[in-house]
Structure 1
Amino acid sequence: MSLTAFTAPGRFWRGNLHTHSNLSDGALDPGEVCRRYQAEGYDFIALTDHFVGMFDYPIADTPPYRNNAFTTLLGAELHSGAMENGDLWHILAVGLPADFAPSNSPGFLAVDAQETGPEIARRARDAGAFIAIAHPHWSGLTLADARSIDAAHAVEIYNHGCEAGAARGGGGHVLDLLLSEGRDLTIIATDDAHFTEPDHFGGWVMVKAEANDPDLLLAALKRGEFYASQGPEIRGIDVTKSAVTVETTAAVSIIVQGRGQGTAAVHGTSMTRTEVPLMRFYDSDWLRVTVVDAAGKQAWSNPFPRP
């Protein structure tokens, strides 16, 4: 079995799905944010400013910054309702319609008579958006919180801004617990860039699509035809009952993760085609792959079923 992210028609397009501008609390105007990402070799971004009343519920008008080599997806970071720790929800919504109705979210504190996090996430998904649980570690997300977002397509496994500014950039623990409960989720890496600290150009997705077109990119995200990275490239994954074979740019470790304590790794030098045996995964119905290069940068496949 070959994963469809690597067999679907088209090519990979590099994009950042979590970005802020001075329409909310970022330092740069939307046009400059788009210019910098294109200059750094990105094919697309989603500008996802904070969807709260203090910023007039912005959904950035980024189509004017599209050109024949760069495109944008509309989006926002949604905030409504309190998590178990009392803090406001942060939910990433990429592919929102420009007329998505505001919630009753005046600022960054939960208030009475507002939608819950699960409710606004479901409303955004029903409106056509790709939904991700943002920065689980930074947010202090509990497993009960994570379970409640039943509209999520994905979990941020890496948030570069949260890592740079708080050393809380991860989401793998919450992700794996949800996968082990049977949730169908994919994995994204993002910047959460504000350009107020070194929070940019550190995590991205590589989306397989036939053209660098917003509708095609969004559809591919929803199908899971992408992988996430800090640097390494994943070029193919083939799965049998006994092994996973991974093709990559030069790597020092290929790690397969599954349910509970199920892990297996192969280590080496400048590995580009690596076979990882699956003897330790007798009780796992899902697997995922992590690639590590010599600089310690990682890439992550989306989860896939064990044959």
Structure 2
Amino acid sequence: MPSHFAPVSDEDAPAGDPFRAPGEWYRGNTHTHSTCSDGKLSVGQVADWYERHGYDFLCITDHNVVAPLDEAAGAGIVVIPGAEIGVAWPQAALAEVCAIGIREVRRKHVHPQEVIDDVLDQGGIPFISHPHMSGVYSSLMMDLEGLVGIEIFNAACQHSGRRGVSTTHWDDLLTCGRRVWGWACDDRHTDDEYPPPPGCLPYRDHAKGWIMVRAPRRSEEAILQAIRDGHFYSTTGPTIHDIRVEEGMIHVRCSEAKQITFASVPWTGTRVHAEPGGSLTEASVSTGAVGEPSRIMGTIANSANLGDHPRPKKMGSYFRVEIWDGEDGYAWSNPHWFGTASWTPDEA
């Protein structure tokens, strides 16, 4: 078959798999605004709110400024500096790069690649805020170097009716070989007294989406490194206890669910449903049902050969798990990466 498969290296294979990583689970919100921009609570007040609601860490990401964290110095949770930086992206509607682990905003309203470069230069983590809401089409993100991930669930957007789910963008990037992580977050702006505008869910950005990070200790450095490594999953409520691949099978354990979906590349993937009136807490499927290497190589060669002018193609080989509890609760794993398949006409 005229295709080539480059498997993930042994060094990179553990990325995206928090379930094999040492440490403990830490709950955190990576997108939070304070009175330093358009939030209703001060840094100290919002840190106190998340501490009282069982969070372990919080990222303060005000618009175009890194807020001073002095007010939260005595907080019982880890407070991480960051910013949500506006970018000039003519093809998008109104786009922003969320950056955590930075100490300053060096440039704003420039091309997102320049902002990403600034963030990486400081050792920070850049990801695209609410791409679906912002009109950031998948194709615009394909060539961004150093992009760590995107928000796949933004509570403030979703519960305002403003296109808060971006899992299709995520799958587009993964399918095209971009190994990026997916975040769920609150995008917190409001306080407990703020009346919701028409069409918005009350408390729409209050502990509605978060990530569970597996890290060796509860510190800014350890949490940020775990996020870089993809050692987390995203959720609006359900828990993912374990995902493992053994002898050609994928095994999942989770809190009670109605569906466990194994999402992958085009024309692959599967779903396990609970019996009527029942629930699931585990599921096992064959890797052959998702984007494992042999299936991907056949798919890519067949699609590239269509028509009179075959063109080179590249496709990521991956799967990710999505849990649905039957109501409003979803959880999303980061992708398990097998490698990358490619096809070029001169190999035929």
Range class of TM-score, shorter chain: 0.7 to 0.9
Residue 123 of structure 2 aligns to a residue whose secondary structure is coil
| 1:146 CA displacement | 1.6
Please say if residues 138 and 166 of structure 1, whose CA atoms lie closer than 8 Å, have aligned partners that are also in contact.
no
Partner of 1:205: 211
Partner of 2:57: 44
Partner of 1:303: 335
Partner of 1:178: 173
AA at the equivalent of 1:263: G
| 2-structure distance, mates of 1:208, 1:279 | 28
Task: Describe the superposition over 1:111-132 as per-residue Cα deviations: whole angstroms up to 9, x where unpaired.
Answer: xxxx311111122122111111
| 1-structure distance, mates of 2:101, 2:23 | 20
| 2-structure distance, mates of 1:261, 1:134 | 28
Partner of 1:151: 146
Report the TM-score, using the length of structure 1 for normalisation.
Answer: 0.88
1:135 and 2:130 are equivalent in the alignment: yes
Please say if residues 47 and 75 of structure 2, whose CA atoms lie closer than 8 Å, have aligned partners that are also in contact.
no
Please say if residues 241 and 306 of structure 1, whose CA atoms lie closer than 8 Å, have aligned partners that are also in contact.
no
- Residue 276 of structure 1: which of 285, 304, 307 is its match? 285
Partner of 2:318: 286
Larger Rg: 2
Residue ranges of structure 2 left out of the alignment (5+ in a row): 1-12, 197-203, 297-315, 340-348
| 1:170 CA displacement | 1.0
Residue ranges of structure 1 left out of the alignment (5+ in a row): 52-57, 106-114
| 2-structure distance, mates of 1:243, 1:67 | 47
- Residue 103 of structure 1: which of 107, 111, 115 is its match? 107
Identity of aligned residues (%): 31
- Residue 77 of structure 1: which of 41, 59, 84 is its match? 84
- Residue 271 of structure 2: which of 260, 265, 268 is its match? 265
| 2-structure distance, mates of 1:101, 1:156 | 20
- Residue 194 of structure 1: which of 176, 183, 189 is its match? 189
Residue 165 of structure 1 aligns to a residue whose secondary structure is coil
Q: Which has the higher contact order (CA 8 A, sep 6+)?
A: 2
| 2-structure distance, mates of 1:9, 1:68 | 26
| 2-structure distance, mates of 1:152, 1:67 | 33
| 1-structure distance, mates of 2:258, 2:105 | 47
| 2-structure distance, mates of 1:251, 1:62 | 39
Deviates more, 1:238-247 or 1:256-265: 238-247
| 1-structure distance, mates of 2:250, 2:228 | 24
| 1:174 CA displacement | 1.0
| 1:103 CA displacement | 1.9
- Residue 15 of structure 1: which of 25, 28, 36 is its match? 28
- Tell me the C-alpha RMSD between the 2 structures: 2.0
Where does 1:221-260 land on structure 2 (aligned, <5 Å)? 221-240=227-246, 242-260=248-266
1:214 and 2:214 are equivalent in the alignment: no
Residue 47 of structure 2 aligns to a residue whose secondary structure is helix
Please say if residues 83 and 145 of structure 1, whose CA atoms lie closer than 8 Å, have aligned partners that are also in contact.
no
Task: Describe the superposition over 1:44-103 as per-residue Cα deviations: whole angstroms up to 9, x where unpaired.
Answer: 11010000xxxxxx2122254255741111100011212404x34301101112xx2432
